[in-house]
Amino acid sequence: MTRKWISLLITILIAVLLAVIATKPPGPKGDQISADMFSSGRAMADVRVIAAKPHPTGSAENAKVRSYLRDRMEAMGLEVVVSQSKLQPRSLKRLNQWSGENKTEQDIFNVIGTLRGKDSSKPAILLMAHHDTVWGSPGAADDTIGIAAIFEIVRALKIQGNYERDLIVLLTDGEELGLSGAVNFFSDNPMSNRVGAIINFEARGGGGTANMFQTSAGNGNAMRLFARSVKRPSASSLSTFVYSVLPNDTDLTPALKKDYVAYNIANIGRAEYYHSPKITPNALEQATLQHMGSQGLDLTRALLSVQALPEKRADATFFDVFGFFTLIYSPFWGWVFLALALVLGMLSLERTEARTDLGRKTDLAKGAVRMMLFLGIGAVLLYGLNWVSGAGRAADYYDRLAAISKLEVMAAFLCFGMIVLIFGRRTLSSNEKLGAALPIFILAIAGQALAPTATYFMSIPIMIFCAVIWLSKQRFGGKLTGVMTIILAAVVAGYMLGLGHLLMLGIGPDMPSAVILPAAIFALILLPNFPAISRRSASLMLSIGFGLSLVMALWIRLDPIAATIPVY
């Protein structure tokens, strides 16, 4: 029993460490690093100027920012033009609501610069961000971080120079009013016909990792180039799938109507600063800028250097492994992983004389019921706690974003209580543990059939879980086998913790129940080393978990409106 507790604690500690590594951007870099590398320290000089004051479309401050952008781009050797067009009627109505005016029209201005390569007849690479802010926000994150990243990328690229094709920088206007500048560029500007690949930079918060969360269709070759070139990646095909079913848009949306290779990179950490009047340059997490820019530089350099841009190929399954590298493969391998899980699971079934076939089936069923109870009851309780915390139509969206960190703690306490309740009150047999995997195995099969690029987070853990069960039953290796099972379990558990964090940032304020699936996989992978807990200890731990989750929900509900919410 002591050995199991030690194994469990070591597994959880390693998992937490891996999750922290995966969800924290690499440290910022000053101007002492090599000139051909990205430096957030250098890029912050632009952030401080551009985000000194709010600069929404049509404002005097926006005109000052445009002038600064043009001067900076010309100083870097780009050929600069300013494209003028009209704000669309629906967007103009929103601008009037912000300002209290009654304008009948409003000009918008895209700032466009070109850095010539060796062959301007080849499709160009477009780097895109928007220069307008929402009303009342200086916008150090949304989207000054994107502009500053682009400028530092261009500066670093010029150190080497002599690339295969042109680089175009597009800084759009009117994004916060309905993507007006991007719509006008991709529908009317002849320069859009010169573009072959796009990287768009965005932000929904003041910190966290910068994630590559959207691509153009047929991304197989495009993502293989990304995997080869980006050194500290944050990307997953699960994110691209989830984003595709959400009603969200960025400046990349109108671009995707054309046949471009496209990538969308944004951060969503410290979500309370989204559109906030408090997101000044000093509030921006500089490590986030470093992460966004370093990925953007690696990817841009690769796209500029290849003889031919990636051709469309079937969408790939991909995900970064704790920010160290990107694992990418054909979705077909998901079926292979599930088949291996089935084989290893069957090999791990208990077949002693003391257990009849009926007994083995009963244990499998008991384990499956436990997992279904965890998924069902956990999802319902998370929904209920979210309602207790103040969610609903009357809730302020930005105030809910500010509560994400508390919502995460609430969900963690609830899931802790559920794990103790469902799995911790007695030692499960191997067959019960295998049975607990059955509901997730079935969900993985359904996911593999319906959304094959998004199901890796179930198919790979199920395969690893069955491998851990099989290893734990073997007699070879001794301590080596124990170490292997701890490492395998910690890798899966750490990924689930990181995934749960990203899900809470992405959809947690509206649907925290989504984290119950990664929580279930987290619990499942710990089962081989999960010790039985006495009734008294279990009752105490249950009370603590459920009680603290309710306390957190009430705290969120009674907390004053966040000071970071927008002024419009």
Any idea which residue has 């059939």 for tokens? 449
pLDDT score at 226: 98
pLDDT score at 2: 78
pLDDT score at 353: 43
pLDDT score at 530: 85
The strand pairing partners of 262, in sequence order, are: 198
CB atoms within 10 A of CB 211: 25
In the chain, % of residues over pLDDT 70? 97
Q: Please check whether residue 508 is in contact with residue 404, taking contact to mean a CB–CB distance below 8 angstroms.
A: yes
Residue type, 390: G
pLDDT score at 546: 96
pLDDT score at 160: 86
pLDDT score at 161: 84
Q: Please check whether residue 375 is in contact with residue 517, taking contact to mean a CB–CB distance below 8 angstroms.
A: yes
- Ordered by where they begin, the domains of the chain are 2-21+332-558 (no CATH), 31-329 (3.40.630.10)
Stated pTM of the model: 0.94
What's the token pair of residue 450?
A: 């319906």
Residues of the chain scoring pLDDT < 50 = 353-355
Please give the C-alpha separations between residue 6 and each of 14, 478, 482, 486, in angstroms, as whole numbers: 12, 16, 11, 10
Dmax over CA atoms of the chain, in Å, equals 85
Q: Return the closest-CA partner of residue 518 out of 400, 431, 411.
A: 411
pLDDT score at 493: 98
